[in-house]
Structures are given as C-alpha cells and as structure tokens.
Amino acid sequence: MTFWEGQKVLVTGGSGFLGIHVVNALKGKNCAEIIVPRSKEYDLVDNSRVSAMFAAFKPDIVIHLAAVVGGIGANRKNPGKFFYDNLMMGVQTFEQARLHGVKKFIGIGTICSYPKFTPVPFKEDDLWNGYPEETNAPYGLAKKMLLVQSEAYRQQYDFPSIFLMPVNLYGPGDNFDPDSSHVIPALIRRCTEAVLQGKKELSVWGTGNATREFLYVEDCAEAIILASEHYDSSAPVNIGSGMEISIKNLVRLIAQLTGFQGDIVFDPTKPDGQPRRRLDTTRAKKQFGFVASTQFEEGLKKTIEWYKAAYC
C-alpha cells in the first residue's frame, strides 16, 4: 500500500488557494476519502466545533492549511485577529487530532515566523534568533506555535507530526481582493486595471528595495504531499524555490507581462516589510526530495492568464 491508500484525509482550508491544489494532488492517491470541512459548519476557532469535526469525520491524516492571511496592509489592520484566530485554529486542531488518534498531522507554518534580520538564505536553525518583522509578527508567531506544539507532543505523547514553512505563494486561484491580497496578485490586478483604464502611472508601497522569494502554488502542493509521505520529524522545513527578486524588479516584470507601459512610482512613506527573503531549501531536498520545478516567469504568465479569464 502507498502512504495514502485507504486513508481518510482531512484538509482544513481545503477550499482555499493552496488547499484546492493540495486536494487536487490527493485525488490520484487512492485515498479512502478526502474531507474538506466548511468553515460555516466547523469554525476552528471554536473548540467545540473542532471536536465535533473530528468526531464526525474520524480522519486518519490531517493537513492543516486553514489560516487567516493577508498582505502588509491587512496585517497592520488586524494584528489581534490574525494572532488569535491563527493561534486558536492551530492549537485546537492539533490537540483534537491527538485526542482522536490521528496517524499523522501535517502543520503548515509561514516564513513570516523568521526574525526580521535573518541571514540570507534563511536556514531553519535561525528560526529562534530574533523577533519577526513587526507588520506580520502576530501572524508569524501564532503559526510558529504549531512548531512548538509539534515538538512538545512528539516528546510527551510520541505524536507523529511535521511542520512545513512555505515561502510566499502565487498562482491560479490566488486572492485578488485589493484589501487583503499579497504582493503578486495585488500587482497583477492593479497593472491589468491600469491598462484597461488607460492610466499612465502606478504607485507602489515602499522603496522597492526589499526582496522576496516566491513559490508556484502547485509546487507547494507537491512539497506537502512528498513531506507527508516521506518525512517524520518535528524539525521545521523550508518550502521554497530558492530564488530572490526585488520588489522593484517584480513590479517591472509584472508590468511587462500585463502590458502596462506607464510610470511606476514608489512610495517610501509606506512600509517595505522584511528587508530580504530567500530560503535555504537544502533540508527539503535532502529529506524528501522536493525541488521546485516551475520557472518564475512561466508561473507569472499562468497566473496572469487565469486572472484575466476569471475577472476581465
């Protein structure tokens, strides 16, 4: 039997951006059942509903993707909500998984948990060497507690769980809401709208000097599947592409791919966020053979095509 064959797999957040791609990847794995609980029925912030969910579905494996997320603006507006909701969803889902005898728990964290001035490339061993970047620290620290819980539960209960930290994701099905989207979908939307409206100028937050690493969402789904199958340690694992691009060059590339030819103006009064982000992905390659396969420009083109088909 394969790892998945005959197993009931519960994917929290399975109808979200990453969740849809993880569920699609699971469909060819001969699972007995893939369960995607709906938040309206099973509010993971409410422990009684979390307990009811496990009692109702009796899963063998849990992939915990559910999260309250957003870009810098959304994090600045909702630090309390982002901390509380993410912390409670993670802690309670993890505990109920243990109490209900789940065979393996796959916790998904975030690179926002890293210290603000982590040496580049980010290595997992540097995770506790400082405080996260202020604008998303509440979110990053709440998700980081999954790692603490994984290590503690393995030590005391011998509970099998892993903790993965994906870099910034992008791809078809991303969140393009201007109030909560991350940088790539926000820029794709704004550049596309600027072209349609004939605008001659585009204003962008920050100096443009900050750098980011991005991972195509289907690659991330593949990494989660591989890690679930082949990794069994609570030591955290970076999930990324190993590339790095400045926001300035990112804006220029998206403008080029969307056909926007106007001026790009950066607003240094707005925050840049963490100065640099690029991961050391050695552990993922060594432990379960994951290497990102989608070239960045190729992934951007697919994302832009999907957005235009869905929204224009």
SS (H, E, C) 238-291: EECCCCCEEHHHHHHHHHHHHCCCCEEEEECCCCCCCCCCCECCHHHHHHHCCC
Residue of 42, 84, 131, 139 marked active site: 139
Contact 227, 25 (CB under 8 A): no
Given a contact cutoff of 8 angstroms between Cβ atoms, the answer to whether 247 and 209 are in contact is yes
Q: Report yes or no: 44 and 67 within 8 Å, Cβ to Cβ.
A: no
Structure tokens at 223: 């990494």
For residues 12 and 93, the answer to whether their CB atoms sit within 8 Å is yes
Could you tell me if 224 and 164 are in contact, meaning their C-beta atoms sit under 8 angstroms apart?
yes
Amino acid (1-letter code) at residue 226 = L
Q: Is 139 noted as a catalytic residue in this protein?
A: yes
Enzyme catalytic residues: 139
